[in-house]
Amino acid sequence: MSNRNRDRKPARNTASREPKNRIFIICEGKFTEPEYLKGMVRVIRNPRVELIVREAKGTPISVVEFAKELKVVAESESKRNGDGDVIFDSFWCVFDRDEHERIPEAVQKARDSKIEVALTNEAFELWLLLHFREQPGFKSRAHLKEMLEEYITGYDKHVNYEKDFHSRYPDAFRRAVALYKVLMNIKKPVHDHNPSTSFHLLTDAIINS
């Protein structure tokens, strides 16, 4: 046996050296969205994904501006170090339509900066509710919360992904895709239609990267 073959490392180690898909997520919400996303990452254990979740208080436009700042810093650091791995593969902003103003401006600003948006109209509780039932039609945030309490006793903005949502995720994804297709057919953006969500695009990126 040659020295070259004797020193060769097992092939299975090659995968571990492959660069991960690095996803940076900035959430408007302080508890619900970050807890859901972190719980999902713990459960799926996708070794190809490195997920960083940051909370950013304020309006959607301020969340996008914060994401832009972080993106610029990451890209500058990469150029300075000559290390392409410093740059994240994608940046995402997560926020609700709710009663926020300047939503179209926030979405366009994100698009111009090559930042993805996971937006739910009216509120993130819609996405959670899709784990248990079909979309309920036009509802306010308060009404969505009341409906969610039928399935999660004492719901208080905190979520346990492993316990309440993981096994139901395929149903939520299917329902969200169907709802999103309706929007695409009528050519309306998520922020202009209640109910609607694009959060499934983010979860799909996390799971299938």
Which residue, chain included where needed, has tokens 């300047």? 102
Q: What is the full DSSP assignment across 62-130?
A: HHHHHHHHHHHHHHHHHHHHT-GGGS-SEEEEEEE-TT-S-HHHHHHHHHHTT-EEEEEES-THHHHHT
**146-184 confidence digits (pLDDT tens):** 999 999 999 999 999 999 999 999 999 999 999 999 999
What average pLDDT is seen over the chain? Answer: 87
Mean pLDDT of the 17-43 span: 86
pLDDT at 78: 73
User: What tokens were used for 63?
Assistant: 């969340």
CA distance 205 to 209: 5
CA distance 12 to 145: 47
Please say if the pLDDT value at position 47 is more than 90: no
Prediction pTM value: 0.85
Element (H, E) at 52: strand 49-55
